[in-house]
Amino acid sequence: MISIRNIIKRYRQKTVLKDLTLNIEKGKITAIIGPNGSGKSTLLSIISRLKDCDSGEVFLDKRSLKAYNSKELAKHLAILRQSNYINLKITVAELVAFGRFPHSQGRLSVDDHDKIEQALHYMELKTIKDRFLNELSGGQIQRAFIAMTLAQDTDYILLDEPLNNLDMKHSVQIMQILRRLVKDFNKTIILVIHDINFASCYADNIIALKEGKIIANGTVDEVVKEDILSEIYDMPIKIETYQGRKICNYFDPQEQVHLSNSTLPINK
């Protein structure tokens, strides 16, 4: 379990995280949602120790994050950040192999190669594993970086907007893969995600932030409610249930017609 206690983070005069305290359950998918600027990525960076907080503390399995050295922490926790494209002429397989560095220090063993092959298989990259990154689409590059994170083989996987640059098909595939990782290997996955329907359909728990504060934290049923989401996003959000899953509808066709007729030029 990850325990966050009284976390405060400031950038100059602005407080972006305001005394956050919460627990993140082990063996579950936890989605962090909220509007732009709510502190989602900052929270993820503090949990992974990429950024320091101004006060408070984070505990990983009841041990302070500060007590781990970098090599040890990398065997327990992996993070994939945004904007991971690199202009290096390396292949997909070589990139994925970087995920084994905390374990092998660059000297790959048979077990390391097995983990790399498993990650390539999970992300459906085996047919392009020998292609260079600069030959791939944005979606393929994203999947390669996720495979690198999987190859690290940690109990905790942190993903900052992992569906960026992916079409609907590959977004669904990745979320299904994350669910399988939780089910088959008891991974704990924490991800920042913008699409609240992906969060409601695939996550177990949701943390909802707004202006650096926790507005709601709990199971999907506890958080995905019309009043809570409407408050978070400052717009009406209707919720319908389809095949047991909560689907958020934030598109009002009547309002769209009104705007079209009153503010947009129409060619006749």
Question: Are residues 231 and 199 in contact, defined by beta-carbon separation less than 8 angstroms?
Answer: no
pLDDT digits (tens, 9 = 90+) for 117-149: 999 998 889 999 999 998 888 778 888 988 999
Residue 216 in tokens: 């709601």
The confidence score (pLDDT) of residue 259 equals 44
Closest-CA residue to 23 (of 3, 52, 43): 3
- Average the pLDDT over each of 91-100, 161-170, 187-196, 224-233 and give the range with the smallest value: 161-170
What percentage of the chain reaches a pLDDT higher than 70?
92
Q: Give the contacts of 235 (CB within 8 A, at least 6 positions apart).
A: 250
Angle between helices 168-185 and 110-122 (to 10 degrees): 130
Residue 181 in tokens: 């990782």
Closest-CA residue to 134 (of 190, 91, 183, 187): 91
pLDDT digits (tens, 9 = 90+) for 29-77: 999 999 999 999 999 999 999 999 999 999 999 999 999 999 899 999 9
Task: Decide if pLDDT at 155 tops 50.
Answer: yes
pLDDT digits (tens, 9 = 90+) for 207-265: 999 999 999 999 999 999 999 999 999 999 999 998 889 999 887 655 544 444 444 44
The confidence score (pLDDT) of residue 266 equals 44
The confidence score (pLDDT) of residue 85 equals 60
Task: Decide if pLDDT at 97 tops 70.
Answer: yes
- CATH superfamily for 2-69+158-167+191-263 is P-loop containing nucleotide triphosphate hydrolases (3.40.50.300)
Residue boundaries of the structural domains of the chain = 2-69+158-167+191-263
94 CB burial (10 A radius; 0-12, 13-18, 19+)? middle
Q: Provide φ and ψ at 83, rounded to 5°.
A: 55, 60
Quote the CA–CA distance of 99 and 119 in Å, as a whole number: 10
SS3 per residue for the chain: CEEEEEEEEEECCEEEEEEEEEEECCCCEEEEECCCCCCHHHHHHHHCCCCCCCEEEEEECCEEHHHCCHHHHCCCEEEECCCCCCCCCCEHHHHHHHHHHHHHCCCCCHHHHHHHHHHHHHCCCHHHCCCEHHHCCHHHHHHHHHHHHHHCCCCEEEEECCCCCCCHHHHHHHHHHHHHHHHHHCCEEEEECCCHHHHHHHCCEEEEEECCEEEEEEEHHHHCCHHHHHHHHCCCCEEEEECCEEEEECCCHHHHHHHHHHHCCCCC
What percentage of the chain reaches a pLDDT higher than 90?
68
Q: Provide φ and ψ at 224, rounded to 5°.
A: -80, 80
Closest-CA residue to 29 (of 157, 119, 216, 127): 157
Q: Measured in whole angstroms, how far is the alpha carbon of residue 199 from the centre of its chain?
A: 10
pTM value is 0.87
The confidence score (pLDDT) of residue 38 equals 95
Calculate the average pLDDT of the chain: 89
